Amino acid sequence: MNVVVCVKQIPDPATPGEMDSQTNTLKRDGKLIMDDSDSYGVEMGLQLAEQAGGGEVTLVSMAQDGETSGLRTALAMGAAKAILVSDPALKGSDALSTAKALSKAISRANPDLILMATESTDGYTGTTPVQVAELLGLPSVTFAKKITVDGSSIKVERQTEAGYDEVTCPLPAVVTVTAGVVEPRYPNFKGIMDAKKKPVEELTVSDLGLDVSEVGSSGSRQEVFEIVAADARQAGEKVVDEGEAHQKVIEFFEQLKLI
């Protein structure tokens, strides 16, 4: 069972992000970390490879300046190797451009299964995984909370608002993993020490057989015209109880359609 897990390396969400006024996108220079929402896919991939009793997890990531610090975290957790796509020509890529680069990189690893997060924590478009599947000509299942491998197909419990659907799908396939459905392991000390020695193959756009006009800002069909700061959160309403407060609470719940 060879699993590819796509891992996005993003600016640490704990430190306030800065926007690039030229491109209206997030500034991504400086140290990047593994997107927390990808840690669930990494964990799921490791578990599936372990359960299958063979095979390994390969990471695929696209980041600028050959950035690998976020990948090291996933390598320390137990992934065997990584493919990093890094090329100045990728600057300004939208979701589709990104999907083009990722899908080319993924196919080099020849995986049985591709896991991705439902959406990234810095971009939140949530569209890349299905675009990757389409470009690879593979089926995709989104919002997985459980994956069971059964020979050459998988059974996926797909989270819905009401509960979950059971989906069966042939392999290879692209599956997005919902955050919080598995407990990502801590990298252990040996894993951390070994992470530096694990292979990270760095590829450019031309290595992938893509033309620079297909990716980056030139290949992107999306343009961000304007960004505005979100409204500051309004202070809540204070209700002083003079015997009538319960009525106010009921009205509030009714307004939210909770009762």
Partner 1 sequence: MFEWSEEQLMIKEAVAKFVESEIQPKRDELEHGDLPPYDVIRTLARTFGIDALGRESFKRRIEREKKKEDVAGESEGDPFLGSPKEGGDGGAAAMTLIPIIELSKVCPGIVTAMGVSVGLAAGTIMSKGTIAQKERWGLDLLTFDKIGAWAITEPNSGSDALGGMNSTAKRDGDEYILNGNKTFITNGPYADTIVFYAKLDDGSGTNPRNRKVLTFILDKGMEGLVQSKPFRKMGLHSSPTGELFLSDVRVGKDRLLGETEDETGGTGRDSAKDNFVTERAGVAAMSLGVIEECLRLSVEYAKSRLLWEKPIGDFQLIQLKLAKMEVARLNVQNLVFRHIEMQKAGRRLTLAEASAMKLYSAQAASEVAMEAVQLFGGNGYMSEYRVEQLARDAKVFQIYAGTDEIQVTHIARDLLKE
- Residue 64 sits at the vertex; the CA angle it makes with 184 and 28, to the nearest 5 degrees, is 75
Shortest separation between residue 187's beta carbon and partner 1, angstroms: 5
Residue 124 interacts with partner 1 (CB under 8 A): yes or no:
no
Q: With respect to partner 1, which residue has the nearer C-beta, 71 or 116?
A: 71
Q: With respect to partner 1, which residue has the nearer C-beta, 76 or 156?
A: 76
Of positions 66, 125, 166, 196, contacts partner 1 by CB under 8 A? 196
Judge whether 91 and 207 are in contact, CB under 8 Å: no
Q: What is the largest CA-CA distance in the chain?
A: 73
Strands 57-62 and 3-6: parallel
Please work out the total of residues on this chain that contact partner 1, with binding judged by CB under 8 A: 14
- In the range 45-84, which residues lie near partner 1 by CB under 8 A? 69, 72-73, 76
Shortest separation between residue 105's beta carbon and partner 1, angstroms: 24
Q: What track of x and - describes contact with partner 1 for positions 99 through 118 (by CB under 8 A)?
A: --------------------
| Ordered DSSP codes for the chain | --EEEE--EEE-TTSPP-EETTTTEE---S-EEE-HHHHHHHHHHHHHHHHHTS--EEEEEE-GGG--HHHHHHHHHT--EEEEE--GGGTT--HHHHHHHHHHHHHHH--SEEEEESS-TTT----HHHHHHHHHT--EEEEEEEEEEETTEEEEEEE-SSSEEEEEEESSEEEEE-TTSS-PPPPPHHHHHHHTTS-EEEE-TTTTT--GGGSHHHH---------PPPPPPPPPP---SS-HHHHHHHHHHHTT--
Q: With respect to partner 1, which residue has the nearer C-beta, 1 or 71?
A: 71
Residue 191 interacts with partner 1 (CB under 8 A): yes or no:
yes
Q: With respect to partner 1, which residue has the nearer C-beta, 28 or 72?
A: 72
Residue 186 interacts with partner 1 (CB under 8 A): yes or no:
yes
Question: Using CB under 8 A, which of the segments 14-22, 142-150, 184-192, 236-244 binds partner 1?
Answer: 184-192
Shortest separation between residue 126's beta carbon and partner 1, angstroms: 26
Q: With respect to partner 1, which residue has the nearer C-beta, 38 or 112?
A: 38
Of positions 30, 88, 110, 193, contacts partner 1 by CB under 8 A? 193
Shortest separation between residue 193's beta carbon and partner 1, angstroms: 4
Q: With respect to partner 1, which residue has the nearer C-beta, 71 or 96?
A: 71
Judge whether 192 and 203 are in contact, CB under 8 Å: no
Shortest separation between residue 186's beta carbon and partner 1, angstroms: 5
> Given the rule CB under 8 A, which residues bind partner 1?
69, 72-73, 76, 186-193, 195-196
